[in-house]
Amino acid sequence: MTPNSNWIPGHAAWSLFTRHHPELGIKAGPWQFHNFLRIHREALVACDAIRKARGRHWIAHVERFLSAAFDCATGFPARAQR
């Protein structure tokens, strides 16, 4: 992450999310991230928490991703951040 950027690779944001919320019992790892995106991709994009970069790699805004992913994981609709 560059000093002025809040955007990191999606898998890194996922790992950070799982470390911040062990109470959810969600595992870190690329396949768990992939499966989470299969269900919650649209909500995360709508909140500008994730964006597609270079065709198939996801980047995530750290603060928005942590908040939106928590909402998705706990069954609440992610709130739009715009």
Per-residue pLDDT tens for 44-72?
999 999 999 988 899 999 999 999 999 99
**Main-chain dihedrals φ then ψ at residue 4, nearest 5 degrees:** -100, 10
Whether residue 77 has pLDDT greater than 80? no
Residues 74 and 16: their CA atoms lie apart, in Å, by: 17
In a domain, 82, yes or no: no
Full residue range of the structural domain in which residue 35 is found: 7-73
Q: Is 16 within 8 Å of 63 (Cβ atoms)?
A: no
In a domain, 54, yes or no: yes
Residues 77 and 9: their CA atoms lie apart, in Å, by: 23
Tally of structural domains, the chain? 1
In a domain, 1, yes or no: no
The pLDDT of residue 5 is 85
Q: pLDDT per residue over 19-41, tens digit each? A: 999 999 999 999 999 999 999 99
What residue type is assigned to position 82 of the chain? R
The pLDDT of residue 67 is 95
